[in-house]
Chains A and B, each alone.
Chain A
C-alpha cells in the first residue's frame, strides 16, 4: 500500500491554522489588537543571562568542514553578532585522528552560509561512522558533541500533476516518493528550492516514520508551481538528535507570541553549549516542471 506522510506538514499547517483560529475567535468579539491600541511596548526586567557558545556544524561527505561558532546574548541586547575569536575547534575523525579547524571567517559560496572555522581537508564520511567535535575557549568553556553518519535514503521518483485551470492560472503539485528503511526512528527533511539551494526553500517540512515504519512514503506540495519552473528537490535523512533539535527550535520560536504555546527548551545535540553538530546525508534531484 502506498503510504504518505503529509502528516507533519498538515500538522504544522493545522497548528498554525489552529492558533490563527484561536486568536481569530478571540478577536471576533473584540477588535483587531493593533487597531484598538491593545498592544504596547513595555519595559521588562529579565534575570541576567550568561552567554553560551553556539555551534552550527553540518559535515558533508566530500566537502571541507565549515562550522560557525557564535555566542548567545541576552534577548534584548543589541542585534550585533557576537562572534568569539578565541575558540579552538577540533574535529575527531572516525579513525580517531583529531584535526584542528582554523579560525577563518568567511562565506561558503555553495550554501551561502557564513562560517568561522574551516577544516584542512575534505571529509570522507561513510554511513555508520562517528565524528566528534570539541570547542574550547580562553574563558574555560567547553562544548562537545558527536554525530553518526545516517544512511543515504534515495529518492525513488519525483512527479508533478497540473490542475485543470486555464493556462495562465495552471499550477502543479509535486510528489516525491522514497522507501523508508525497516529501522525505526527515521526522520526526514523535505525541501524544494527554485533553481539554487543557497536561499530559503519554497517548500520545507520534516516527517518521521513513527506511524508507518518501513513503507513507501510520498511527500507532496500544494499547487505551487508553474510550467517550466526549475526545482531542486532534496531529501535529507536525519538522525533523532538533529530532528529533535530542529523541532525544538521551531517550538521555541512558536512560543514567542503565542499565548497558548508552552515554552520549549532547545534540545541541543552538543553538550556544554547550544547548537547542532551533525553529518548531512541527502539526495537531490533537479527537475523542470513541464
Chain B
C-alpha cells in the first residue's frame, strides 16, 4: 500500500471540494433538531417541506441539511414521541435554522422510544446491518439487578451474541469480543466493562445513543474486524441547571447538567458508584471473631462521564468529552496474604466543529485513551506487583461536503494514532530489601488512515455508497498497510420494499492477548510486529426490507458471509504475563462466519418492540504450527460463542399514562464448550495418592443445554411533587421463571463419606443467576 498516494488523494480532495461548492446555486437550510427542555439532539428527526415533497433526516449528531430553491415554505419538523412543529420560512440565502421539539407527553398514548428515525428512513437508507439504541429505550427494559446497560440491550438484536450469562461483551457475526471498535464520542475505549464483564462502562444517564454496525462499515471506521459500537454522550441542558439520578440495588447515579453560558454551551457531569462493599465490610466486621468465617472480598467500581459544548461563533463549536472509571478489588486473608486488583479506563476527547458554509463541514478532534490494570500482592514479607497498560493519542479530521444538487454526500478524513503498549511490568521483592526483581516490557506503535466516501443518489430507486480507506501501522521497524474498500447499494423495488447489499474489508492492527475464552481485566493488547501480522476480514451482506402496516412495521432479512485471515489464538499453556517473547506464544488461523438474520420491529403505538431470529455458523481453524498440533489438532472447530439459533423478543407496552410494562425473551442454542473426554491417574514423584488428570483431545465439541430466559419490567412514573417533578420506580424481574441456565459444566469426584475413597465421577452443571427481582428509584429536578 502506497500511503503517500493515499495522503495525496486526501489533500487533493480537500482542495477540490470548496471549489466545487462555489459552483452551486441553490440554497441550503441546515441546523440541529433538539428536544425542548433537555437540549438533547434528536438523531432521526425529520425536517420536511410538504409543498416540494422534500425532506431530510437528522444525522447522528441531530444535524440536518436540505437543498431548496429560494422561496417561501412551510416546514414540518417531526420525530416519534414529540409534537410536530410547523414553521414558515423565507429562504433567500444559505441559512442555519435549529428547531426544538416538545415531548408529545402521554396524550398520544405512545411509548416514547427513539430510534433511527422512522422505519421508513431505515427502509430507504443504503446503510444496512446497523442497529441504533437510545438510553431512553434501554431504560424501559428490564435489567439484571436493575442496572440498565446499553451494551447488554444490544445483545437482544439479531446477529449479536453474548459471552456468557449476564456479561456485557458483544460477539458480532462470528467476531470475537476484541474485534469490536468501541467508541465514546469518537474516542476508543479498550475495555468497556466493569465487574469482570457483568456491566458495561457506559452510564445510561450520560449516554444518548449507541449505533452498532455489524457490517457494511462506512469508510470512516477502521481498526477492528467485526463491529463498530459508536456511543454518543448526551449533551447537557442548555437552558437550565438540572439534577437527575437513581438509587438502585447495587449502585447509585447522579447527573448534573446545565448551561455554561446561555445560548453558548452546556455541560453534563454524571457519576455512579456501587456500594456492596459497604455491606460486605460490615459483614466482615461482624464476623471478625469467627475463626471459621472467610472474609468477603471488597469490591466496588465507579465511573464519571463529562461532556461540554461551547459555541465559539456562528460557524464554530467545541465539544469536550471525558470518561474516568475504575474497578477496585481487594482481599486480605488476615494471615499475611493481601491481594489488590485495580483496573480502569481514562478517555478524553476534544472536538472542534467548523462550518465553512452550509455545505462544507470540518470536524477535527484530539483524543486520549488509556486502559490499565494493576495487581498488588503481598504474601507475608514478599510483595509483588504486576501491571499492564495501553495508551493512545489520536488526532483525526473529517470533512463533510454535500454538493447543491443533493445527489452526493462526500466525506474525506484522516486519522493518526500513537500507541504505547505496556504489555507487562513486574516488581517483586521482600520487605527487608534482600530480594528485588523487576521487568518492564513495552512497545510503541503508530497507526494511520485516510479515507474518502460518497453517498450517491442517482434516482429515487437507486442509492449507492462507496468508500476507500487506506490504513497503515508500524511497530518495531515493521510496516503494514492495506486498502480497505467499502461499498453498499440500495434499490427501491417499491415504496415499501428495498433490496440492499454491502461489502467491507477491514484490518485490525492491535490484538487482544487472552486465553481465558472470555474478556477479563487482565487481557493485554499487543501490536502487529514480528510474526504477528494484522488480522484481516471481508464481509458481504445482502438483505431485503419490507415496510408493512402503513409504515408501522418493518421486517428485514439479511444474509451475511464473513471470512477472516490471520486470526489469533494461543498455544496451550502459553505464558502471557510478563513474557518478553510473547510473539512466540501466538498461533494463527482462519475464521468463517455466515448466517441469516430476520428482524421485525415496531416503533410506534402503545405497544412497540422487536422480534429477531438468527441462524448462524461460526468456525475457526488453526493448523499445526510452531511445534504444536495447532488447535483441535488442526481441525475446524466452533468457538464458544458460536450459536446455531438465537431468538429474541422485546415488547414495551404503555399500559396507562404512568405505567409502562416491558418484557424480553431470549432463546439460544447451547454454548460450545470443551469437556475432558478422558482422564489418567497421576502419582507424581512423591508417593501420595494418585489424582485424576483430565484429557482434552478436542476443542468445543460439547454443547451446553439451550439458554432461555424471560425478563419482565415495570416503569411506574410517580406523581410530580414540588421537589421531584419527575420520578419513577423501575421494577425488574430478571430470569422471571427462574430457569437454571447453564453457565459451565465440570466433572467432579463422588467420594464415600466414610472412607473418602472415590466411588464414581459425575458431571455438574453450574448456573449463575436465579430469578432476581430489583427496584430502582429514578428522579429528576
Chain A positions near chain B (C-beta within 8 angstroms): 1-7, 10-11, 13-14, 17-18, 20-22, 24-26, 28-31, 33, 36-44, 46-47, 49, 51-52, 54, 56, 58, 68, 70-79, 81, 107-108, 111-114, 161, 173, 191, 193, 197-201, 210-212, 218, 220, 222-223, 236, 244, 247-249, 251-253, 255-257, 259-267, 274-275, 280
Asked if B675 CB lies within 8 Å of chain A CBs, one says: yes
User: Pick the contact of A10 from B250, B379, B677, B740 — CB < 8 Å?
Assistant: B379
5 contacts between A and B (CB under 8 A): A29-B145, A39-B765, A76-B762, A211-B426, A262-B516
Given contacts A5-B437, A47-B701, A252-B696, 17 further A-B contacts (CB under 8 A): A6-B384, A6-B435, A10-B428, A40-B764, A49-B697, A71-B680, A72-B695, A75-B761, A200-B688, A201-B686, A211-B437, A249-B693, A257-B747, A257-B748, A260-B518, A262-B516, A263-B694
C-alpha spacing A169/B18, complex, angstroms? 83
> Which A-chain residue is minimally distant from B329 (CB atoms)?
A21
For A22, list chain B residues within 8 Å (CB): 196, 520
> Which A-chain residue is minimally distant from B147 (CB atoms)?
A29
Asked if B36 CB lies within 8 Å of chain A CBs, one says: no
User: Pick the contact of B766 from A39, A56, A197 — CB < 8 Å?
Assistant: A39
Q: Are the CB atoms of B768 and A30 closer together than 8 Å? A: yes
Q: Are the CB atoms of A274 and B702 closer together than 8 Å? A: no
Q: Are the CB atoms of B678 and A11 closer together than 8 Å? A: no
Q: Are the CB atoms of A70 and B379 closer together than 8 Å? A: no
> Which A-chain residue is minimally distant from B628 (CB atoms)?
A265
For B375, list chain A residues within 8 Å (CB): 14, 18
Q: Would you list the 10 A-B pairs with minimal beta carbon distance, nearest first?
A: A112-B687, A257-B746, A4-B435, A263-B696, A49-B677, A72-B680, A259-B744, A113-B687, A263-B674, A49-B678
Q: Are the CB atoms of A222 and B280 closer together than 8 Å? A: no
For A248, list chain B residues within 8 Å (CB): 572-573
> Which A-chain residue is minimally distant from B674 (CB atoms)?
A263
Contact size range, B:
35 or more
C-alpha spacing A13/B382, complex, angstroms? 12
C-alpha spacing A159/B682, complex, angstroms? 32
Asked if B763 CB lies within 8 Å of chain A CBs, one says: yes
For B740, list chain A residues within 8 Å (CB): 37-38, 40
User: Pick the contact of B377 from A13, A68, A107 — CB < 8 Å?
Assistant: A13
Q: Are the CB atoms of B693 and A266 closer together than 8 Å? A: yes
C-alpha spacing A37/B770, complex, angstroms? 9
Q: Are the CB atoms of B763 and A68 closer together than 8 Å? A: no
For A58, list chain B residues within 8 Å (CB): 685
Asked if B767 CB lies within 8 Å of chain A CBs, one says: yes
Q: Are the CB atoms of B377 and A14 closer together than 8 Å? A: yes
For B296, list chain A residues within 8 Å (CB): 24, 28
C-alpha spacing A53/B339, complex, angstroms? 42
Q: Are the CB atoms of B336 and A222 closer together than 8 Å? A: yes
For A17, list chain B residues within 8 Å (CB): 331, 339, 377
Q: Are the CB atoms of B683 and A56 closer together than 8 Å? A: yes
Type the 1/0 row for B744-762, where 1 means its CB is closer than 8 Å to any CB of A: 1111110000000011111
Asked if B244 CB lies within 8 Å of chain A CBs, one says: no
For A78, list chain B residues within 8 Å (CB): 760
Asked if B297 CB lies within 8 Å of chain A CBs, one says: yes
C-alpha spacing A72/B763, complex, angstroms? 18
Q: Are the CB atoms of B686 and A264 closer together than 8 Å? A: no
Chain B positions near chain A (C-beta within 8 angstroms): 144-145, 164, 166, 195-196, 198, 250, 276, 280, 296-297, 299, 329, 331, 336-337, 339, 341, 375, 377, 379-382, 384, 386, 426, 428-430, 434-437, 439, 515-518, 520, 522, 570, 572-573, 575, 577-580, 629, 674-688, 690-691, 693-699, 701-702, 705, 740, 743-749, 758-770, 772
C-alpha spacing A25/B297, complex, angstroms? 8
Given A26-B198, A46-B677, check contact A267 B686 (CB 8 Å): no
C-alpha spacing A266/B297, complex, angstroms? 34
Distance from A54 Cβ to chain B, minimum over Cβ atoms (Å): 4
> Which B-chain residue is minimally distant from A83 (CB atoms)?
B681
C-alpha spacing A257/B439, complex, angstroms? 32
Distance from A36 Cβ to chain B, minimum over Cβ atoms (Å): 6
C-alpha spacing A198/B297, complex, angstroms? 37
For B686, list chain A residues within 8 Å (CB): 111-113, 191, 193, 197-201
C-alpha spacing A47/B740, complex, angstroms? 25
Looking at A3, A28, A257, which has the most chain B CB atoms within 10 Å of its CB? A28
> Which A-chain residue is minimally distant from B743 (CB atoms)?
A259
Distance from B47 Cβ to chain A, minimum over Cβ atoms (Å): 45
For A259, list chain B residues within 8 Å (CB): 164, 518, 743-744, 766
Q: Are the CB atoms of A255 and B382 closer together than 8 Å? A: no
For A212, list chain B residues within 8 Å (CB): 437
